[in-house]
Chain A
Amino acid sequence: GAVVSQHPSWVICKSGTSVKIECRSLDFQATTMFWYRQFPKQSLMLMATSNEGSKATYEQGVEKDKFLINHASLTLSTLTVTSAHPEDSSFYICSARDPLGLAGGAGTDTQYFGPGTRLTVL
C-alpha cells in the first residue's frame, strides 16, 4: 500500500516553455500533498503544500505565479512550472499524506513520496 506515482519521471524542455508534473496517490485519498525540490547533493526543500479544493500554501521565496499548483481531487495534484528557465532544473518530488494511516501501516500523517521528476531546462 501507500503508493504515490509521478508523471513524467523526467522531462527536458526549452527555456520559456511550461511543464506540468502530476502526482497521484494510488491506494489512498490524500487531502494534503506536498511539493519538494531537491538540487544535487542537497536535501529536500518544501516548495508548497497542496490542499484539495483550496489554494496551495507556498513557502517563503517560492513564486506562486511561477509554480502553479492544482489539487482538484483527493488523489491528484499537479505542479506546473511556467516559463521555465535553466535555474529551474531540479528534481521535483511530491508526497502525499495518508490521513487515516490505512495504506502504509506506518501510522497517520506519514508522508509517502512519489518517484520524482527530473526537470532539465535547456
Chain B
Amino acid sequence: GQNIDQPTEMTATEGAIVQINCTYQTSGFNGLFWYQQHAGEAPTFLSYNVLDGLEEKGRFSSFLSRSKGYSYLLLKELQMKDSASYLCAVEYGNKLVFGAGTILRVKS
C-alpha cells in the first residue's frame, strides 16, 4: 500500500510557528498536496509540491524531498482560526491518497 504517515495531533501557541511532517512511499509519486479541513467541512487546498524545495504562500509554506519521501507544512504566525485538521495527500497515478490528518490545536 501507499502508507502516508503524519502525526495524529499537535498543539501550538497563537503567534508561534508549527511544522507538520508527512512521509510517504516514493514509488509512483506524482505530486503532493496539503489540505486544511475544519470539522464537518470539506478540505480546502493549501499547497502543491511536485519538485524538491520550498513553496511559500503567505503564512503557509510546504517543503518536499522526493528522494526521502518527505514533506512538511509550515505555518507561521499562528492564529486561532488555524485550528483544524491538516491532510497530506499524495498523487499516485490519477488518484489522491490521503493521510489520516493531523489535528492542530492553537491555544492562546
Which residues of chain A have a CB within 8 Å of any CB of chain B? Answer: 2, 6, 32, 34, 42-46, 49, 91, 93, 95, 104, 106-107, 109-116, 118
Partner of B94, one of A49, A91, A115: A49
Number of chain B residues close to chain A: CB under 8 A = 20
Q: A2-B45, A113-B44 are in contact. List 9 more A-B contacts (CB 8 A).
A: A34-B95, A44-B43, A45-B98, A106-B48, A110-B33, A110-B48, A111-B45, A112-B45, A115-B41
Instruction: Provide the residues of chain A in CB contact with B45, threshold 8 Å.
Output: 2, 104, 106, 110-113
Instruction: Provide the residues of chain B in CB contact with A93, threshold 8 Å.
Output: 42-43
Min CB–CB distance B102 → chain A (angstroms): 10
Query: Taking A43-B87, A44-B87, A109-B91 as contacts, is the C-beta distance between A114 and B99 under 8 angstroms?
Result: no
Asked whether any CB of chain A lies closer than 8 Å to the CB of B18, the reply is: no
Instruction: Provide the residues of chain B in CB contact with A118, threshold 8 Å.
Output: 40
B48 touches A107 (CB 8 A): yes
Asked whether any CB of chain A lies closer than 8 Å to the CB of B17, the reply is: no
| B 28-50 binary contact with A (CB < 8 Å = 1; else 0) | 00010101000011111100100
B42 touches A109 (CB 8 A): no
Instruction: Provide the residues of chain A in CB contact with B33, threshold 8 Å.
Output: 110-111
